[in-house]
Structure 1
């Protein structure tokens, strides 16, 4: 089968022929119809991710058809499925176990014509979505769902700020929050992405490259009940002042750097919470899919690439030019 392989530090994105795996007990072989890239995949290519292993097939997100099933794998043969990439979460809903891993490293992932997974991580493909749309959902959709609903306890009428809308997770955060009845504000580095966010239901947005972006948000919104950030970096210290009393600040990444020195006074006086999150549980993945079906949400896709041209998708992600998900179609 053909696959995109992390072959070495010098050759991180290689399109090549590899052996097709065979399912063992409890496992299935999925013929991948479409897969999606995540920022995680890019960080792996540049060596800035823990536990890098050569060779490995990229890809956490995928949708396809089960073509083979091992003993005890259940009634999945010939079914259209979506794969939950959050594996070995463990017994505690509040945090993942020490055995937790994400599909695509260390185990071979979805940027291939076939992928081997345990049957317990399969879910029926949402009926209203095509292959590309379904493949966009898993990692970013689950991360956004846990951040908003489990961690931030989003409710109808909340004012929500999404810091850095445009990438896959930021776009899902926007779609989830709008569908749940929140009033959503966004930041982005381009006016074009802010306008695209408004078309998806954002109330307003500001450019975080402008010196007074925080002041602009205060004038627009007054204050926020929930702030979700995936960048951190030096501007993170402005976020507590943007929050309403009882506000929740949730983050799941640090692409712009570490948390800077913070003034703790508004944090304790306004009784704010700063909450870290990563991926999610099986129950949250199921709830996310039910939420998508109930609201008939369609993921935003920026561009679709053939498997042989996956390197072009990585190049586009490197420059953060996308709005929505980058998809690889088999």
Structure 2
């Protein structure tokens, strides 16, 4: 089969012929129709991710058709249109993942290929209102955003929500999910174009985080926030405490702008604030996310679709974070 292979951190992604996966107990083979890129894939190509091994077939997100199942898996899966939950081996505790938790695409070979194997328990019917390209955009970013908002952030209808850095795939999903849940959503971005796109998706307003007074602008626009979703950290994170309403939850799942800065602990305890870390999510989170998408007929934001053979070109688009929403590969 054809697959996109990462041979080393200093080499581009290349299309190669590789062995077709051989199924083990409880596994299925999915013919990948579309796969989406994540910031995780970009970090791996930079050699800046734990447990990197070479050669690797990256890709956590995928949608396709079940081509084959192992003997102990229900044969009715064959021919079904599916999406894949890339959050595997979570464990029994809903609050945190166990030690052997894995994300599809490293160390196991991922979805940047004509075929991928996965445990049958991680398959779900593709939402009928979505194309393969749209469905492939969902899994990793959608799951991360859903858990951040609802499981960790305890989002409720009528809450005021701030999404820091709305242009990323997680940011666009968080915006769509919060709007669907009946919340008033505000955003930040580095460009006016992305803020306008966020407004088209239902955001009440947005500000450019490059402005020196971005926090003051948000304070004037919204007054305060009940839930804040952040994937950047960095020095600006300290200003979020001033933007929070009493009892607010700040949920973060990345650190693209740096580490956690010095915080005024008095604001934390006096306002009864919570700072919560999260990553990926449980089987129940994934299922609830799909229910939300199906109920509200949410269509993921796809920035651009590339042929599988142009994976290197696609991932280079992430170098400057110019995309809004997800970048997708079509097999």
Q: TM-score range with shorter-chain normalisation?
A: over 0.9
Whether 1:31 aligns to 2:31 is yes
RMSD (Å), alpha carbons: 0.7
Whether 1:17 aligns to 2:17 is yes
Whole-Å Cα distance in 2 between the matches of residues 137 and 9 of structure 1? Answer: 27
Whole-Å Cα distance in 2 between the matches of residues 181 and 80 of structure 1? Answer: 30
Q: Aligned residues, how many?
A: 330
Residue in 1 aligned with 2:264?
Answer: 263
Deviation (angstroms), 1:319: 1.1
Deviation (angstroms), 1:10: 2.7
Whole-Å Cα distance in 1 between the matches of residues 39 and 307 of structure 2? Answer: 19
TM-score by length of 2: 0.99
Asked if structure 1 preserves the Cα contact closer than 8 Å seen for 2:12 and 2:312, the reply is no
Residue aligned with 1:318, SS? coil
Asked if structure 2 preserves the Cα contact closer than 8 Å seen for 1:24 and 1:71, the reply is no
Residue in 2 aligned with 1:250?
Answer: 251
Whole-Å Cα distance in 2 between the matches of residues 72 and 191 of structure 1? Answer: 53
Residue in 2 aligned with 1:135?
Answer: 136
Asked if structure 2 preserves the Cα contact closer than 8 Å seen for 1:305 and 1:313, the reply is yes
Residue aligned with 1:214, SS? helix
Residue aligned with 2:100, SS? coil
Residue in 2 aligned with 1:320?
Answer: 321
Residue in 2 aligned with 1:78?
Answer: 79
Relative to structure 2, which stretch is displaced further, 18-27 or 257-266?
18-27
Asked if structure 1 preserves the Cα contact closer than 8 Å seen for 2:10 and 2:46, the reply is no
Asked if structure 1 preserves the Cα contact closer than 8 Å seen for 2:29 and 2:117, the reply is yes
Whether 1:65 aligns to 2:65 is yes
Deviation (angstroms), 1:12: 4.5
Whole-Å Cα distance in 2 between the matches of residues 4 and 243 of structure 1? Answer: 44
Q: Equivalent residues in 2 for 1:141-152 (5 A)?
A: 141-152=142-153
Whole-Å Cα distance in 1 between the matches of residues 165 and 327 of structure 2? Answer: 17
Deviation (angstroms), 1:76: 1.0
Aligned structure 1 segments of 4 or more residues deviating by more than 6 angstroms: none
Deviation (angstroms), 1:177: 0.3
Whole-Å Cα distance in 2 between the matches of residues 39 and 296 of structure 1? Answer: 25
Deviation (angstroms), 1:285: 0.4
Whether 1:107 aligns to 2:71 is no
Whole-Å Cα distance in 2 between the matches of residues 259 and 93 of structure 1? Answer: 25
Superposed CA deviations along residues 56-106 of structure 1, whole A, max 9, x for unmatched, are 101000000111111212231111111000000000000000010100000
Whole-Å Cα distance in 1 between the matches of residues 9 and 161 of structure 2? Answer: 40
Residue aligned with 1:132, SS? helix
After superposition, the Cα gap between the structure-2 partners of 1:72 and 1:60, relative to the gap in structure 1 and judged at 3 Å, is same
Residue aligned with 1:140, SS? helix
Asked if structure 2 preserves the Cα contact closer than 8 Å seen for 1:26 and 1:73, the reply is yes
Deviation (angstroms), 1:174: 0.2
Residue in 2 aligned with 1:92?
Answer: 93
Residue in 2 aligned with 1:55?
Answer: 55
Deviation (angstroms), 1:323: 0.5
TM-score by length of 1: 0.99
Unaligned runs of 5+ in 2: none
Whole-Å Cα distance in 2 between the matches of residues 49 and 55 of structure 1? Answer: 14
Asked if structure 1 preserves the Cα contact closer than 8 Å seen for 2:9 and 2:44, the reply is no
Whole-Å Cα distance in 1 between the matches of residues 22 and 153 of structure 2? Answer: 41
Deviation (angstroms), 1:9: 2.4
Whole-Å Cα distance in 2 between the matches of residues 37 and 116 of structure 1? Answer: 18
Deviation (angstroms), 1:312: 1.0
Residue in 1 aligned with 2:283?
Answer: 282
Unaligned runs of 5+ in 1: none
Residue aligned with 2:212, SS? coil
Whether 1:41 aligns to 2:41 is yes
Whole-Å Cα distance in 2 between the matches of residues 100 and 257 of structure 1? Answer: 25
